[in-house]
Structures are given as C-alpha cells and as structure tokens.
Amino acid sequence: MPVRLLTDQTIGKIAAGEVVERPASVVKELLENALDAGAGRVAVAVRGGGTELIEVADDGRGMPPDELPLAILRHATSKLAAFEDLDRLATLGFRGEALPSIAAVSSFSLRSRPPGAAHGTELRIDFGEAGPPRAVAARLGTVATARDLFANVPARRKFLRQLSTESGYIVRAVSAYAAAYPHVAIELSVDDRRVFATDGSGDPVAAAVGVFGPEVGEAALRLETPEAAAAVPGVAVDGWVGAPPLTRSHRQGMVFFVNGRWVQNRPLAFALEEAYHSLLMVGRHPVAVVHVRLDPAAVDVNVHPTKAEVKFLDERAVCRAVQRAAHAALARAPHDALPALRFAPPSAETQRPMPIPPTPWTGPNGTASAPEPPERPHPSGVPILRVLGQVGGSFIIAEGPEGMYLIDQHAAHERVLYEKILGGLRDRGVDRQPLLDPLVVDLAPDELAAYGRSAAELAEVGFEIEPFADGAVAVRAVPALVPAGDLADRLRLILRELAEGGQGDSWLDAVAISTACHTSIRAGQALSLPEMRELVADLERSSQPRACGHGRPTMLHMTRGELERQFSRR
C-alpha cells in the first residue's frame, strides 16, 4: 500500500480515540470546560449511558460568536500561548483537543452567550462537519450537547460496556468533581432521573453529603496541613477523609485532585491507605476527597491523553504530605461523636468497628464496678466495662454505660500485644525470655526465605533465632509477652504470613503485627474471669482499641434500647 495522507475525517476519528475513551470522557471534558469558564452552577444530563445524549449546561463566561468556530478547531485553546505556559498552568484544559474530538464522533452543538450580549450563538457540528453559526435565544453561559456518540464509529460503540455500567462511570466522574468543587452547585440527571445535586455553598462536607449521602457527613474529617514541624514544604493538602467506620470494598471512594485536576495516582492512594494502617479490615478501603496543591512547575500534567495521570517532581514528598495530613485528621477524630456499631444487621458499607462513648460505667450504688477506677482517662474512647463471662470460648461478654459489648478475645489480645511490642520498640526494646534449651524448628522453603528476610526485625521484636541445619532454625529466646504454648507452631505461622507479604507501614511493623497475631490468645481458649478482666482492662488502655493490627474489629456493641426492641419491650 503506498504512503498517503489521511483524510481530515479519518484523522479526527483517530485523534478522538485518544481523548474520548468512553461517554464518561466526554462528560469529564465538558464539565472541566464549565469549571474553567468560572461557572457557579453546572447541570449535567445523560441518557442511554451517554451514547444517546450528553448535555452540560453552565452559567460561566460564555463565548462570543467569533470564538465558537475556533473552539472546535484542533489545538485552538484559550488556556496557553506557548509551551512554557505549562509550568504555570492554572486551568483544567489546555490542549484544545476535547471539543474537536467530541465533535468528530457525535452530533454536537454549542450554544453560548457571554455577559453583555443581547443574544446567544449556536454552532452545530455533525460528526466533524460544522455548519454556520446562528443567533439563538440563550441564557448566560454555555450549553454543550453531544448526541449519538460513536454512531459513526461502530467499532468503538461495540466495545462499550452495558448502558448501566457506562452510566456508572459517568456518575463517578461527576461525583468526584461535585465533591471536590463545593463552591459550584453541580447537578446530575441520568435517564431523566436526578441522581444528586450539591448546593454550591462552599462547604466540602455539605458537598460530600449531597454526593455520597448523609453517612459521609457524620464521618467526614477535615484535612489540614500539619503544623510547621510536620508540614512538607511546598505541598498543601486539604479536603476530607472518612472516619474508619466509613469504608468501601473498592478504592473508587478515594478521590484525588492535584491543583484542581482529578487524577488517578496509585502512590497517593497507597499513602492514604497507610494512614489507616491497622484501623481497617483487610479488603476494606477508606472514603476521601483529597486536594493536593503545589507549584505547577513541580507537576507535569501533560503525560496522558485524557489528562488522567500526572507526574510529580518529588513524588515522595507529595505522598508524605497526604499521609501526614490524614494521620493528623484521624488523630483529631472525636471518638465519642461517632455512631457505634450495633448488632442489628449492618449494611455492607457500614460494617466496621466503631468507637464507643467514653462515659465511665457505674453500678446501682454509684460506684465503679470495673477493676480500674472510673476517673481514669479514656483517650481511646472505650468506657470502663464490667466483664460478665465468655461465649463459645472465643468472645467476652461485658456491660458498659451504653449496653452490652461482645469482645473478640483473639483480636483484642492481638491489639494489646501489638501496642506492647510497639511500646517496647520505642522505649528500650522488647523484653526477651531465654529458653532453657534451644528449640529447633524445621521450616518449609518459603518460611525459611521469610526468616532470612526478617531475621533483623524478628530480633528487634524479641526473638533470638539462629540458622541451624538445612531447613531448620534454633530458637534461643522469645518475646517475654509470648504465652506458653506450641512455640514452633506459632513461629511457623508468623513466617508463613510474612512469606505471603505481611501487612504494615514497614517490614518491622509487619513483623510486629504478625508476631502479635500468632502469639495472642486463640479463639476457643477458655479464660478465667480474672484473665478476661485483665484482657479487657488492657484493651481499654490501648490507643486504638477498636481493631486488631490486621484491621479486624475487636468488639461489637448493642445498646439497651436495641436489647429492649429485641425482647419486644419497645
């Protein structure tokens, strides 16, 4: 085949394939244009998963008649004049590719009226063929409408998902911007049904409630740049993160904006999740809207056709700033202001360990019935509990000021041991208990490899282990807090977990978590009443008593009112 020039229509369709990946891409580009135009209100309406109709109406600055034909030309933009302008870019769009790409694969129209104009102007482009502008009646601002998306590119339409799935992508995109731009009133309608609307009041929590629902309003913790000592120079972080009870089974609830631009960035997501370390169950993820603001020259926005990814000059500093801001917000969380997890069947999205009000429980005569005095402070939010007994050899039942509590003895003891190990590491080192005779433990290959990687960290948490014969190690000392039992079996369980990757802020932390888990009291182990009281008292003194090191809940709570309802007393 000889070399030839492609037609303008073919070029337009190919270029559109880079920018317009799916209907949600069109919505995102048009919504960003509305925000760049200074809109205070934006209404988004879609039908048929966005293939039938996409309409974005705003009350922004609008465009005069002579600029409308320019707006649909490739590489025509009002956002920059030279390449060097990318270093100080303050807008969401800049390439001048969005509108011509959308117009190449849809029946597209732009209707706009700037302030001071007596009427508006409309321009129609049918799959790349533009008609003449014409005067129309129009409100201030711009209305962009795309119909029959990909009708002239059947191969692209064939690869779209089900209409409901495509609508879901659109909802996610508009939700992200609505939550991140609280000063703009954004409304979304899908198939003539309003999905949500924000009020544009400027309150980020109010915007989050409008988008995600009232459960977010109770759990949203505002992000603030930490004090100077903990701040990362040149990076500011704001927005909000959800309290630990608010989680999702996926990572789509974590929304990141860099200088106002919605981005997908795995290191940022990882940094945020690390701030929740040991507070969430395995497989659960936080909900957050995080804004990162830094010098435009320190971030490259021109690395992805759809502008979905960015590169940082110092990615570690940005991740560190996000993690510190999230840590500070979680540390400030008012534990007693959050709702408690109940025995009533929770939804999949709220089944999380919750903090418990810090009111000391007192008996009928007004005196404390727990082993510790009631005036003891409870910064963790756990009240003093009165231990009543054990259920199934695994759960401790206790009474507190707000009803009944079930405590998972294994998870509770794991939390206690984990914090004791951390305390020992911070202070003077973990106490060791030498063994009278070395214990020789045969290890599987993966366990032996995990020992080789973790020998230094195991020593720090209190183990004294030496290589022995092939495939075996000799244990000479163990952490003093390890209870009597099958030490060989416990060591294998620790190494097996580490061989599978472990879990923690660092490898030392992963070793500490695994050690606490596999040396703690096990489910099915009968405990005496004094042992249960001691365990519960230790849990009350923990800084994070609601979850074990792996993030599993340590306790459930049933209020007196719920007990009464269960027995039909209400």
**What pLDDT is attached to residue 12?**
58
CATH classification at residue 394: 3.30.1540.20
Report the distance separating Cα 216 and Cα 205, nearest Å. 8
Q: Are residues 298 and 364 in the same domain?
A: no
Q: Are residues 278 and 344 in the same domain?
A: no
8 A C-beta contact, residue 156 and residue 166? no
Query: Do the domain assignments include residue 567?
Result: yes
For the chain, what is the domain count?
3
Range of the domain at 222: 213-333
Q: Which amino acid, residue 398?
A: A
Q: Are residues 342 and 323 in the same domain?
A: no
CATH classification at residue 288: 3.30.230.10
Query: Do the domain assignments include residue 458?
Result: yes
Q: Are residues 326 and 343 in the same domain?
A: no
The pLDDT profile of the chain, 570 residues, written as one tens digit per residue, is 677 776 666 665 555 555 688 999 999 999 999 999 999 999 999 999 999 999 999 999 999 998 888 888 776 665 554 555 555 555 665 555 788 889 999 999 999 999 999 999 999 999 989 999 999 999 999 999 999 999 998 888 888 888 888 998 999 999 999 999 999 999 999 999 998 999 999 999 899 888 888 878 878 899 987 666 567 888 999 999 998 888 887 788 899 999 988 888 888 999 898 888 777 776 788 999 999 999 888 888 766 666 667 888 888 899 999 988 998 888 777 644 333 333 333 335 333 333 323 323 333 333 333 333 333 334 445 788 899 999 988 899 999 888 889 999 999 999 998 888 888 888 777 788 898 888 998 887 778 888 888 888 899 888 999 988 778 899 999 988 877 667 888 888 888 888 877 777 678 888 888 888 888 888 888 899 989 999 999 898 888 888 888 777 888 888 888 888 888 877
Report the distance separating Cα 61 and Cα 39, nearest Å. 7
Residue 344 DSSP code: S
SS3 144: strand
8 A C-beta contact, residue 393 and residue 528? no
Can you say whether the dihedral through the CA atoms of 363, 366, 368, 374 is positive or negative? positive
Query: Do the domain assignments include residue 565?
Result: yes
Q: Are residues 187 and 314 in the same domain?
A: no
CATH classification at residue 118: 3.30.565.10
How far from 364 is each of 367, 397, 401, 564, CA to CA, in Å? 7, 19, 12, 19
Report the distance separating Cα 552 and Cα 83, nearest Å. 51
Report the distance separating Cα 568 and Cα 560, nearest Å. 12
**What pLDDT is attached to residue 363?**
34
Q: Are residues 320 and 364 in the same domain?
A: no
Residue 76 CB neighbours (<10 A)? 15
